[in-house]
Structure 1
Amino acid sequence: MGEFLTKRDGFWHFVRRVPENCAELDRRGIVKQSTRIKVVDDPRGARARRETDRINGELEAYWRGLLDGQSAEAQRRYDAARRRARSFGFDYAPAADIAARPAAEIVARVEAAQAAAPRADEESAVTALLGGEGLPEIKLTTLFDEFEKLQAASIKDLSEDQRRKWRNPKKRALANLLSVVADKSITALTRSDALDFRAWWQDRILADDLDIGTANKDIGHLNKMFRTINTAHKLGLSPVFGELRIEGEESGSRLAFEPDFLQKRILAVGALDDLNDEARRVIYLMVETGLRPSEVVNLTEETIVLDHDVPHIKARPDGRRMKTAQSARDIPLVGVSLLAAQAQPKGFPRYRDKGATLSATVNKTMRAASLLPADGHTLYSIRHTFEDRLTAIDAPDKMIAMLMGHKFQRPKYGAGPTLAHKREWLQRIALLPPSRV
């Protein structure tokens, strides 16, 4: 910060030239400001440097605001031009693109602009119809915001926790890219930049023994964001992140527990006492239903149906997007799952829409209690065990698919198995519940 600090009239002063990219917005040329600290009182400038840190931070925030405002105004003008062009029945395109189109279309655009009424509106019509408004610069730092805006309709049914899970991997991929490539317009990003990013990931994989799949997820997220923005804004960019996946990725699969381990260890009295009541009962409810953890924690008083001839739960979206269309299903309650539902008739408010928090808590506790016998075992393994238990008694494929919420690969006829029919199969695999839940 010493480069911005100078002595003047016995006081320390902050002096900094306005950056070139802000020169049109901040006409001062050089910013000068007194720290109000006398040189005689601070001969080495230690206090003055701390003050210039503060002044510089405020100044840079001011410049960022100017640039953000300029970008927002440019985006507003561009969006207005696109809407205006559509109102005349034409698509919006840059001037260079329009110039390459058939003469008849160009003439039609000019005539439409000349016919704009009132006449005072002709200038905006010309801008809209002849591509006079350039696309606002989209920089890497604003890439995700632009992508999220374009995806608004696609993610409208996600819950808050699902939105967080949707956002975070993309933001993380972009942050990793920005650690390798300086912030720039996405139109200036090159294949060489993308290859540098791939090489950076390869070095990390070798040095830190990281999973190749993690790198490929980053590359995939960046590729999708670029393709989406490129298509939406007709930028004509080359697919800089295309065909960059690192070979050698292993597709890991979660393990299932042995049914005997589930019965004798996990359902043993006191085995899960280190968990809070809700977390423990989530496990118990999964045992005889095969529900996903995220499905259990989002059950409510309306979807836990105990006053029915066949007590059951209704797996429904309820403010969130379900994993598949087949995930909406009704599952009878038997054994320890019925006991858990009776103990939590209003659901699991502590973990509602917090499936990741629940899984992290349970996995940590089960690992400490030696209830995860292998590296691939997790809370989710209970769901895989449920499917294995049904398979072991030769349950029909259609019955397994409907209980698991999987797609059944045959045409759908009739209403499908009743709750009573489903319960018959579940009672055949029911384990002995612990004496208390």
Structure 2
Amino acid sequence: MIKPHKRAGIYYLVRRVPKDFAHLDTRGIVRLSTEIAVADDPRGVRAGQRVQALNVELEAYWRGLRDGQSAEARMRFEAARKRALAIGVTYETINDLLAGKIEDLVERVELLVDRKALESELDVAAVLGGEPKVSIMLSNLVSEYEEMKKAELALKSPNQRRKWKNPRLLAINNFIEVVGDKAIDRLTRSDALRFRTWWLDRIVEEDLDIGTANKNLGILSRMYRDYNKLHQMGLPPIFAEIAIEGEMDKQRAAFKPEYVEKQILAPGVLDDLNEQARAVLWIVAETGLRISEACALDSTTISLDGDVPYVMVRPNGRQLKVQHTARDIPLVGVALDAAKAFPNGFSRYHDKPDSCSALVNKYLGHRNLLPTDDHSFYSLRHTFEDRLTAVDAPEKIIAVLMGHKHQRPKYGEGPSLEQKQRWLQSIVYKPAKHAG
């Protein structure tokens, strides 16, 4: 804890500028007045509190200087890199060029001469590597990574972007907790191994799943690798082969179809569940849609007017899991009842599938409708696939209805709505009549 210093009857914060910031703040020793007289606070209680606050502000100031300089340097480096590509060469720093073949350096100088660009600072910096490679602090990596992935993220809904960002923030924050907030080019293999050991200890002491640790390690590794590749940092692969062995594939259990029909879909069982959540459950049970796909339905993707009522799984303001996820699914049984009740979709859960899933899982759990801990709302989708398998549906039909990739090359239009409807009618649930 920083203690207040007395000087001329006033309490001060006194700090030596840290080595990492000395090139940005040349004061050497920083003295900031608390404006609290020693006579007014003889024990230094208020002064101690003020000194801590001033210290927080001072460190924030230093970080701001560093981040501002780093941002400016990154902009210059990116401009040079892009200009080099436009001229027709790959960007390399002057140090890399000097360490390479002299012929390559001469060739670049001749290129500038031929272009009559020796007077252009931008062209010279681009071709002869005038801008050093830039690094960033770990604490800034996620925001930088967002910028790198902005084209991909533009396709995602706000909820999808949140779910994309949060695991990356978690991975970075965990890593910083172990190794500190370091510049990415200062990271070492030892840092990566320390992080792996930290996870190993947590797995043992907190009974965590190995898959959770490997997901954290994998996310961190990808961000490091992608940043390194884009900015041509030439960093060593410190996260290579770092995954923890022993991870088990966990697959959600499927309900027995008769259990769904007689227990979950029985009249009265879901009456206390709000109408929209109940309708989403009916659609998932009868069509095999993912919960997120059902929650995203609206008036543009629910069609009830034709001979075959159906729903369309489309991006519709969100990113589909993969391209073949887009599909048209006929509505039968309770799914048709749900769509008729909510032809404009489920506004309460639009882009909020996690809220719907959590509510339904809680509801089913409180009513002892989850046979094991491995069962959940999502298990209805696994049950849907099992029901199709039980009636010997062709693999292509199953793949098309589930939104899975079919292994054979795609020819023609694929199964028609009428064909898909016939298969769905062959497995339709037949609970007692629902009241509404």
Contact 2:133/2:232 (8 A) holds in 1:
no
2:248 is aligned to 250
Residue from 379, 382, 396 that aligns with 1:381: 379
| Deviation, structure 1 residue 211 | 0.5
TM-score of the superposed pair, with normalisation by structure 1: 0.93
1:66 is aligned to 65
Residue from 300, 303, 306 that aligns with 1:302: 300
DSSP 3-state at the match of 2:222: helix
1:193 is aligned to 191
2:164 is aligned to 166
Contact 2:304/2:340 (8 A) holds in 1:
yes
1:79 is aligned to 78
Q: Which amino acid aligns with 1:432?
A: K
| Deviation, structure 1 residue 341 | 0.7
Q: Which amino acid aligns with 2:158?
A: E
1:148 is aligned to 146
Q: Which amino acid aligns with 1:145?
A: S
Q: Write the distance in 1 (CA, Å) between the matches of 2:122 and 2:402.
A: 57
| Deviation, structure 1 residue 132 | 2.1
Contact 2:70/2:134 (8 A) holds in 1:
yes
DSSP 3-state at the match of 2:30: strand
Q: Higher mean Cα deviation, 211-220 or 155-164? A: 155-164
Q: Write the distance in 2 (CA, Å) between the matches of 1:219 and 1:207.
A: 18
DSSP 3-state at the match of 1:179: helix
Q: Which amino acid aligns with 1:232?
A: L
1:38 is aligned to 37
Contact 1:298/1:347 (8 A) holds in 2:
yes
1:48 is aligned to 47
1:19 is aligned to 18
Q: Write the distance in 1 (CA, Å) between the matches of 2:281 and 2:371.
A: 17
Deviations 1:80-123 (A, max 9, x none): 222332343222101232224444432221133346657642x4
1:413 is aligned to 411
Matched, 1:435 2:434: yes
Q: Write the distance in 2 (CA, Å) between the matches of 1:419 and 1:278.
A: 26
2:259 is aligned to 261
Contact 1:77/1:133 (8 A) holds in 2:
yes
Q: Write the distance in 1 (CA, Å) between the matches of 2:17 and 2:86.
A: 42
Deviations 1:4-54 (A, max 9, x none): x12233332232232222233223333323323233332222222222222
Q: Write the distance in 2 (CA, Å) between the matches of 1:154 and 1:2.
A: 45
Contact 1:254/1:377 (8 A) holds in 2:
yes
Gaps of 5+ in 2: none
Deviations 1:305-328 (A, max 9, x none): 111111111111112221222211
Q: How does 1:210-229 map to 2 (within 5 A)?
A: 210-229=208-227
Q: Write the distance in 2 (CA, Å) between the matches of 1:114 and 1:48.
A: 64
Matched, 1:369 2:367: yes
| Deviation, structure 1 residue 2 | 4.5
Q: How does 1:69-148 map to 2 (within 5 A)?
A: 69-114=68-113, 120-121=119-120, 123-148=121-146
Contact 1:88/1:112 (8 A) holds in 2:
no
Q: Write the distance in 1 (CA, Å) between the matches of 2:171 and 2:310.
A: 42
Deviations 1:196-220 (A, max 9, x none): 1111111111111111111111121
Q: Write the distance in 1 (CA, Å) between the matches of 2:122 and 2:425.
A: 72
Residue from 267, 279, 282 that aligns with 1:281: 279
2:177 is aligned to 179
Counting aligned pairs with the same residue, the percent is 53
Q: Write the distance in 2 (CA, Å) between the matches of 1:379 and 1:182.
A: 40
Contact 1:116/1:125 (8 A) holds in 2:
no
| Deviation, structure 1 residue 372 | 1.1
Q: Higher mean Cα deviation, 310-319 or 273-282? A: 273-282
Q: Write the distance in 2 (CA, Å) between the matches of 1:320 and 1:51.
A: 48
Residues 1:214 and 1:56: Cα distance change in structure 2 (over 3 Å): same
| Deviation, structure 1 residue 269 | 2.4
DSSP 3-state at the match of 2:179: coil
Deviations 1:357-392 (A, max 9, x none): 221222122112211111111111011111111221
| Deviation, structure 1 residue 296 | 0.4
Residues 1:100 and 1:34: Cα distance change in structure 2 (over 3 Å): closer
Residues 1:346 and 1:8: Cα distance change in structure 2 (over 3 Å): same
DSSP 3-state at the match of 1:180: helix
Q: Write the distance in 2 (CA, Å) between the matches of 1:410 and 1:126.
A: 53
Q: Write the distance in 2 (CA, Å) between the matches of 1:127 and 1:411.
A: 49
Deviations 1:171-221 (A, max 9, x none): 212211111112222222222221111111111111111111111111211
Q: Write the distance in 2 (CA, Å) between the matches of 1:414 and 1:137.
A: 51
Contact 2:357/2:377 (8 A) holds in 1:
yes
Contact 2:255/2:380 (8 A) holds in 1:
yes
